[in-house]
Structures are given as C-alpha cells and as structure tokens.
Amino acid sequence: MIERKITIKTENQLLIDALVDATSLSKQALKTALDKGCVWLKAGKKTNRIRRVKKPLKIGNEVFIYFNEKILSAIPTQPTLLLDKKGYSIWLKPAGIFSQGSKWGDHCALTRLVEKKLDRPTFLVHRLDRATSGIMLIAHSKAMAKALSTLFADRLIKKTYLAIVSGDFPHKKISLTSDIDGKHALSHITKLVQNEQKSLLSVHIETGRKHQIRKHLSEINFPIIGDRLYGTAKKNHPEDLQLQAVNLAFNCPIDQQPINIVLPREDQLKL
C-alpha cells in the first residue's frame, strides 16, 4: 500500500514521470491507478482527482497517490440502466457498489461506472449504502443536480424500499419517528408477507437520514438481516444486507411528466 504526497519541483514535469520517480510502481501500474481514480492533484486551493497521464505539472503542485492493490484489483458488478432522460439517468445499483468514490479510487463507484458507460459527466444527488442494492438517480449536469437535489430536499421524490428481518414482525403497519443524529426522521413500515423464519417489509421514508431504515428497525429489535453495523450479523455472515430501494416516483424536472420507476419483480428481494 502506498499513501504519499509528492511536491513538484520541476516545471512542466509530466504527471506519470513524477509518479514513477516517487514510487516503485511501473508505468503500466500507474496508468491503471490513474484510470481507477486513486491519484489527486492540488493546484492552488483546489484538489481534484486526476487521470491524465501526461498532464504537465507546475512547481509547487502537490500530487497525492493512495495506492491499495486490493482495492484497485476489485472487479465491480455493472449497474443496469432503467431510464435515460439525457439530463439524468436512473440505474439499478448492485449491492457491493459504492455510490461515489473515495480517495482510494472510484472504479467501483456508481458515478464512475455510469460516466464510462454513457460518456457523460455524473453528479451524485442521493446515496445508497454500499451494501444496499436498488434504484438510484444520477444527474449529468450541475443544473440538473441542483434541480434533483431540490426535489429530494423538498420531499417531492417518493422512496420505497424492501427489507427482510428475522422472525414474525408484529405490526401490520407502523410509523417510526425517532430522531437520527439529532434530526427528525420518519419511516413508514408495512409488513407484506412472512414465513416461519422471516418477514418481508415495505418501507417508505419521508426523510433521508444516514442509515435511517437500518437504525429505525434495529431500535425496535428487528434489525435487517445481514446488517453488520446495527444488527447481529458478524463480519463473515453468509447473507448480504437484505435492504433494497425498489421504487422512485417524482415529476420529471425536464418535462414535468410523472416518473414512477419500479424495480422489476424478478430483481426484487424475496423471502
């Protein structure tokens, strides 16, 4: 693993040459690292991810590399396009895919995967946890990102999830209202079906707090199956997190027509 800051001392030195001089990595390994998003450039006050191999640098520029071979060798599951409105698109994000990248790379992030598939810029307007699968909106311009973010902030986008918990969930319908991180949070839970071991729940959230559904269900002693953070699942638990975003409904900010995307039944969580 390499985590290093490189201060440029030679005017117009190429990025790839600066990285070769400062690390023990080959040019091919560094080209792959650049493409996968683990190299950053600070020029002036801005620090941005950089991929241009032959980018000429200026004296005083700072280059940061966060090279982790295990992270960079991960092979992402590809997302599925559900709707393309050009200004934004809607995708099925598989479990295991990040919503956005980190300093260690972005090749397993939905934003980068969509950017490469559609050859358009991508802007994140909401998130799903890495372990959560389901429907996500991606904007393709700053103006569209602002418009969609406003819809989310004004609670004009209806979000529905499926969750599977252990045992017989005792409520046909219940609303959970406990605050999360000091902020109001509201989740509406409906039991859909159960068997001897599990219950399948439909969850509609009116707020979008971090880990809201996971926290609310854990607080009433029905943590989601596979939840290693708020439940009883251990690190080597055999099941993935049984939480999925299955429906997004809103008025399109482009043509004001209603959009109602429901995940195909064959792709939805089942008992």
Q: Does residue 79 come out as left (phi exceeding 0), alpha (psi in the -120 to 50 range) or beta?
A: beta
Give which of 46, 60, 67, 50 is closest to 15, Cα–Cα.
50
Structure tokens belonging to residue 123: 């802007």
Active site residues: 129
Give which of 262, 258, 246 is closest to 213, Cα–Cα.
246
Q: Which residues have C-beta within 8 Å of that of residue 143, sequence separation ≥ 6?
A: none
Query: What is the C-alpha to C-alpha distance for residues 181 and 215, in angstroms, rounded to an integer?
Result: 11
Strand partners for 165: 199, 224
